[in-house]
Amino acid sequence: MLSQPEDIAAGRLEVYHLWVEAFNHDGNGPSIEADHAILQDLLHGAQQLCFNNQNNRLTEAMSKNALVQAIHNRAGSPAKLKHSYHASITCSIRVLHCEDDIAYELRHAQELEEQIRGAGIADVGLVEVAGPHYGNVINPQEINAILLDHLRASSHQGGESANRYHEHEYHACQKMITPFTKILAKYGYHPHEVDSDNSDSE
């Protein structure tokens, strides 16, 4: 089991207690209507961890969508929770550690890398990138390039060392219409709208 920093473990426990308080059920059936004031506190804490308070339309939309998905998967029956985790990984993996992550240090990513390799996945690599816990949202240019190269290498050339990614020059990427665009639009995100101030959500 991965070790948790003491303060992060305490924070996760606090989130758990907020979750229980918000739904007030025993986990064996549908919950009563959630307490949305408590859920807002929970959501704010998650945004601090994931984005270091670098809020914009995208982070707001992703947070709200994640909350809806969590309610669907984790606020019902044990069967629904089990179904949400019913998957196994067999492909090559790149573990990305974000240098500005306020919760997890590099050593935690290294520990995860070793555990994945120990589970039988031979092609595992660790890459350090700039950004908060959810660096793929705040720093997509660098991370998208890494993921694209990994996909190309896995599809056509076999596994390659993660060290090669540090040799790249990263180019600005354009915002794309993806399968998630329609989902996030429900929560106020549109990829071609410009945030007036990336530090403030709207």
Domain of 68 in residue numbering reads as 6-84
Residues 105 and 74 in one domain: no
Total number of domains in the chain: 2
| Domain membership flag for residue 12 | yes
Q: Are residues 123 and 146 in the same domain?
A: yes
- Residue type at 119 in one-letter notation: A
- Statement to judge: residues 99 and 127 lie in one domain: yes
Same domain, residue pair 75 and 103: no
- Residue 29 has a pLDDT of 45
107 and 153 in a single domain? The answer is yes
C-alpha 16/C-alpha 42 separation (Å) is 9
Distance in angstroms (rounded) separating the CA atoms of residues 201 and 96: 26
Q: Which amino acid is at 187?
A: Y
Tell whether 99 is covered by a domain: yes
Q: How many CB atoms lie within 10 A of CB 8?
A: 14
> Are both 72 and 107 inside the same structural domain?
no
Domain shared by 73 and 35, yes or no: yes
For residue 71, CA distances in Å to 30, 68, 111, 150 come to 10, 5, 30, 33
Neighbours of 56 (CB within 10 A): 21
Mean pLDDT of the 138-158 span: 83
**In this structure, is residue 184 part of a structural domain?**
no
In a domain, 31, yes or no: yes
Tell me how crowded residue 58 is: count the other CB atoms within 10 A of its CB. 23
Residue 159's pLDDT is 44
Residues 45 and 101 in one domain: no
Whether residues 101 and 35 fall in one domain? no
Instruction: Tell me, yes or no, whether 106 and 52 share the same domain.
Output: no
Per DSSP, helices labelled H in 86-180 are 106-118, 135-138, 140-152
Q: Are residues 45 and 100 in the same domain?
A: no
Residue 200: the pLDDT is: 41
> What pTM does this model have?
0.55
Which helix (H) or strand (E) element contains residue 13?
helix 6-23
- Asked if 40 and 76 sit in the same domain, the reply is yes
* pLDDT single digits (tens) 69-82: 777 766 655 665 55
Tens-digit pLDDT profile for residues 14-42 = 877 777 777 665 554 445 466 778 888 88
pLDDT at res. 166: 47
**28 domain-assigned:** yes
The contacts of residue 41 (CB under 8 Å, 6+ apart) are 18
